[in-house]
Structure 1
């Protein structure tokens, strides 16, 4: 099978050198008889974009970039790094270097990461755009939440002292203040590329200052993105003036329109909805808290990183901007128990699992303590009708217990490693017990429902024979 090389070119201005480098790489590939596809990331956005399928099948990737190229999508693939200038001058050498690369073998953890990337590639439309916004927001939430927790450590609950106040200003007044604008900005960026970023950020800032929170930010992001895309697609200019569209015309028109709609039309209704949601969550009695925890927990285990799981996670993460931390605690605990429960099951009922599955259970345990729910996917895929209900029951119980004990989590990721940070989690002991209980329930249910390896093998043989 002929080797295929993919490349990405991007210079800071995104005008001339981006396309010169692309042309040089394509020419070099043609001269060597190698199939090459080049994605350009210029001033008008991404053109000739690389698909997940193409990335999966490629022998190697050439990154001739002087700016962001969304490198995370190439994780696990051989990559050749270069500047744009080097690609223009030495494209044949880059092709040779890429051809000389060797692909690495995949283990269980690589398999899980591959499943995550495969699911990411299946995201389309609004769901994909929302997840892009959430993923861009998460580092701010993590950094802000941990810094706020540290401010309580050094200054107490009233945050007294210069260091504690500085940490609170960095984490709360700055990082958390950027959450909603970044959420909206990158939703818009996902829809319309660079021209959508400015109106999305401004719309998100208006949502934040107007009291409509993460719900308003989501609305602002989609509004700004589709407005920017509309202007990008339908405003036609002479070729020599096209460069003005992404840096002047589209940002101004989309920002103005988004801003006016957020202030005069959408801001107050979205603010009222958000206020109602906050009041309901802060006023939950124990019965309602159990119900919410059960729902969020079951959602986290239902598809282990799929759309339902991500919907629960996005809901909890968005509420952090409104200082509502209980749903986040429930969601992370419930997301840890599926792989942890399967790891425990492989230890206590070895006869239910093959040697390969028992070995995979060790990796699943590591992924579980790291809050990577996808670690359960290979087990669920092999026996969905027994494994998935077990995971959902264990996670639902964990989510409910977390809500009942009033556990609060200020960082939306990190798993067990976040628990060691003082004040990052409230009711720490009870929270830990909730995770343990859900893990045990999952393991026991899997052990009861799954058949012995020998029995399952005989049944499969009989089915094939019939």
Structure 2
């Protein structure tokens, strides 16, 4: 690790008070050494990673990290804060801050070293030594896993002023202070193969047995657990969770093997090891790769931070599930598109994740089917829906036949919307066993005209039924066929009964009433609905609330009427505003934005015009308190104007490229332009006020960084030198 961290990258007196300022301070050291090529671009990537999940860990550790195209070579910087900095850890601020910068295409060897560091952070002796170190060179040596020497004089110059060290330079510079401050007897295992390969932990005579279950002494066979850990970046949390689980396995007296699925790839567990396991632990924030290998076993499925913070509880939980005979899928976070959450999270949060699972899989069908339908209308006119089946009548030289072909293919794709929505809601709740009853329930919803609402209900019912079945204790001989035979069979029958005879018809009546209400919307009521939809589309820029509004609009296209077509138009118009506004703002007042943001602004023109709201995310990640409220204001204006102008839209996607399918297209463009102007103007005003109140840009950047929360009014009272 000698080429990754030197004394120049160590700050033992980190003065920053926010995580953004800390990241900037450490990143500036990387820039000074030529390791990072674009400070603001790199910090934006750090902020985007932080937005996925806080990087604070129990024990006073903050470990912001990311992969970035602005990183020249893998680099690690370390800072120690006397006051502590909030990185979102449950137990409070962090005083040990590691900033890890990995290139977009980092090689496996360097990522292996970084993963080894992550494991060492679980060693209390290592973190204690970091807190007591007084010299930057010795601290860098400790982090590199090298033994300090005492043959060189003490270095008293500040770390930032020291010349960069070469990989072969002695790590020591251990000073007159006793080397006992940097213990070496328990030197971290920098080269442990566990960083890249599955690691088995088998109890030995040295392992305490007091914590092992009393029954263990009477058992001939040790309880065996296999675990998988992974995080979005695959550098830090992945290996820290692996180390924590291994240590907890030692203390619990179980045999535990971990498969870290990190950035440098992963080595698959031996199928024989998986087959012999009594239970499985998934500690992950990204999909577990080849998850089907672990099917049919008692499983605990949690976020990666749970694997770091409470590994002993997870081991106890999986043992309890094994005793009750529970199998894979009982957890609430089994879907690959579902962000694993803590077991104590609220039902509302779980419900949102389940619905997002269904919507995420439904959107590609919406885009493909909707655009094919739109093209059919564009080529053949509004009578194309009356054309005969192209399987029976198709003339190669007639444009109407081609239009009918596109329209009918799109219609078939659109016919999957409700079943896919229901099937993958159930999948988000109960994994693969939920797919069959979910699809069956969604198809029944179409059959009885329960529509979009019926699909939602069918998915939730199917997932709930499967989860209930999975909690039933079954004989060991039946566990292998439960996920593929018994559960789909029983759950489909129960869901079919409930949808046909109990809840289906009331939901169909509600769907019909909703359609009638939408078709009768006019005047003030329509404008208010447009405002609400605009706010939802722009609040999280492609997140759950955005998808709910979009799914609501698309659901109305299944049985279109005047009201549902107005809703679709308002939703798409509002969704185009944020990226278009950011593009306009970076063009009009480019000095208020970083070079990277100005480059993103160029792409945002195309993204906004194509109705890709996510094009504004880089701007929101860098400055959420100014960008998001501004985007919501513009979206509300556009939604209201679109409804007021009675614009309609038959296509569920396409942006300006489906203008021929829009009713009142000129007024529709005016609505989009008005919202774009409002958002761009507010962003420029708010960012300009920040610059005016703090003329020292460096101070401003340090305090707000990639997502500063300081209000401009408060900043005006703070001298620039503070």
The equivalent residue for 1:35 is: 196
1:303 aligns with 2:515: no
For residue 381 of structure 1, report the CA deviation from its aligned partner.
4.5
Deviations 1:1-24 (A, max 9, x none): 4448xxxxxxxxxxxxxxxxxxxx
Distance 1:328 1:272, change over 3 A: same
Distance 1:362 1:257, change over 3 A: same
Distance 1:463 1:221, change over 3 A: farther
Contact 1:3 1:59 in 2 (8 A): no
The equivalent residue for 2:461 is: 223
Distance 1:167 1:345, change over 3 A: closer
Contact 2:454 2:507 in 1 (8 A): yes
State the alpha-carbon separation in 1 of the partners of residues 360 and 489 from structure 2: 26
User: SS of the counterpart of 1:451?
Assistant: helix
Deviations 1:328-370 (A, max 9, x none): 2212221121121122112222343344443343243343233
For residue 298 of structure 1, report the CA deviation from its aligned partner.
1.4
Deviations 1:294-314 (A, max 9, x none): 111112122323333232222
For residue 129 of structure 1, report the CA deviation from its aligned partner.
1.5
1:61 aligns with 2:265: yes
Name the TM-score, length of structure 1 as normaliser.
0.72
1:152 aligns with 2:377: yes
Contact 2:645 2:667 in 1 (8 A): yes
Contact 1:52 1:121 in 2 (8 A): no
For residue 268 of structure 1, report the CA deviation from its aligned partner.
1.5
Runs of 5+ in structure 1 lacking a partner? 5-29, 39-46, 65-72, 85-116
The equivalent residue for 1:21 is: none
Within-5 A mapping of 1:346-425: 346-416=586-656, 418-419=657-658, 423=661, 425=662
Distance 1:386 1:162, change over 3 A: closer
Distance 1:33 1:445, change over 3 A: closer
For residue 412 of structure 1, report the CA deviation from its aligned partner.
3.2
User: SS of the counterpart of 1:61?
Assistant: coil
The equivalent residue for 2:437 is: 199
The equivalent residue for 2:275 is: none
State the alpha-carbon separation in 2 of the partners of residues 141 and 382 from structure 1: 31
Deviations 1:420-466 (A, max 9, x none): 6x53x443333233222211221122223332675244375635755
State the alpha-carbon separation in 2 of the partners of residues 409 and 55 from structure 1: 42
The equivalent residue for 1:137 is: 362
For residue 62 of structure 1, report the CA deviation from its aligned partner.
5.2
Contact 1:141 1:411 in 2 (8 A): no
- Which of 564, 575, 581 pairs up with 1:341? 581
User: SS of the counterpart of 1:258?
Assistant: helix
Within-5 A mapping of 1:47-196: 51-53=230-232, 55=234, 57=236, 58-61=262-265, 125-159=350-384, 160=387, 161-172=400-411, 174-196=412-434
Deviations 1:107-141 (A, max 9, x none): xxxxxxxxxx9996779522112111112112222
1:290 aligns with 2:547: no
Contact 1:407 1:427 in 2 (8 A): yes
Aligned length: 382
Within-5 A mapping of 1:228-247: 228-237=466-475, 239-247=476-484
For residue 386 of structure 1, report the CA deviation from its aligned partner.
3.7
User: SS of the counterpart of 2:580?
Assistant: helix
**Structure with greater Cα Rg:** 2
State the alpha-carbon separation in 1 of the partners of residues 264 and 649 from structure 2: 41
State the alpha-carbon separation in 2 of the partners of residues 150 and 223 from structure 1: 36
User: SS of the counterpart of 1:322?
Assistant: coil
Runs of 5+ in structure 2 lacking a partner? 1-112, 117-190, 200-225, 237-261, 269-284, 294-335, 342-347, 388-399, 701-717
State the alpha-carbon separation in 1 of the partners of residues 640 and 591 from structure 2: 31
Within-5 A mapping of 1:1-40: 1-3=113-115, 32-36=193-197
Contact 1:52 1:118 in 2 (8 A): no
1:275 aligns with 2:512: yes
Distance 1:118 1:379, change over 3 A: farther
State the alpha-carbon separation in 1 of the partners of residues 338 and 590 from structure 2: 30
Deviations 1:1-55 (A, max 9, x none): 4448xxxxxxxxxxxxxxxxxxxxxxxxx995443469xxxxxxxx956544464
State the alpha-carbon separation in 2 of the partners of residues 332 and 224 from structure 1: 31
For residue 409 of structure 1, report the CA deviation from its aligned partner.
3.3
State the alpha-carbon separation in 1 of the partners of residues 513 and 234 from structure 2: 45
Contact 2:694 2:720 in 1 (8 A): no
State the alpha-carbon separation in 1 of the partners of residues 600 and 693 from structure 2: 19
Deviations 1:84-117 (A, max 9, x none): 9xxxxxxxxxxxxxxxxxxxxxxxxxxxxxxxx9
1:266 aligns with 2:503: yes
- Which of 427, 437, 443 pairs up with 2:680? 443
For residue 249 of structure 1, report the CA deviation from its aligned partner.
0.9
Distance 1:387 1:170, change over 3 A: closer
Deviations 1:271-327 (A, max 9, x none): 121111111101101322211111111121223233332322222222222323332
- Which of 257, 260, 278 pairs up with 2:494? 257
User: SS of the counterpart of 1:60?
Assistant: coil
Higher relative contact order (CA 8 A, sep 6+): 1
State the alpha-carbon separation in 2 of the partners of residues 119 and 359 from structure 1: 32
For residue 384 of structure 1, report the CA deviation from its aligned partner.
4.0
User: SS of the counterpart of 1:406?
Assistant: coil
State the alpha-carbon separation in 1 of the partners of residues 473 and 498 from structure 2: 21
Contact 1:294 1:396 in 2 (8 A): yes
